[in-house]
Amino acid sequence: MPPFLIRMLLWVRNPPSRNQQIAIAVICGIGLSMAAVEYFLGWPAWLRAERVPHGPRLILP
């Protein structure tokens, strides 16, 4: 059985406290809002990752 299903089963049998539920909801809301901002407005240019050259690559036969 996959581990996430075991965790879900444990949560059904012994649910987290009210404060933990609120914390989980807030974290999920922040993540969803960040995803929505990225999807609708795009990612700012100053946050884009650029490749940094690390020197010559050795190609082995």
Q: Which helix (H) or strand (E) holds 40?
A: helix 18-41
Measure the CA–CA gap between 47 and 43, rounded to whole angstroms.
7
Q: What is the pLDDT of residues 5-47, one digit of tens each?
A: 998 899 899 998 999 999 999 999 999 999 998 899 887 777 7
Does residue 59 carry a pLDDT above 80? Answer: no
22 against 61, higher pLDDT? 22
Give the single-character DSSP code of 46. G
Sorted by where each begins, the domain ranges of the chain are 18-43
- Look up residue 58 and give its amino acid: L
pTM of the predicted model over 0.85: no
Question: For residue 21, what are its two tokens?
Answer: 């539920």
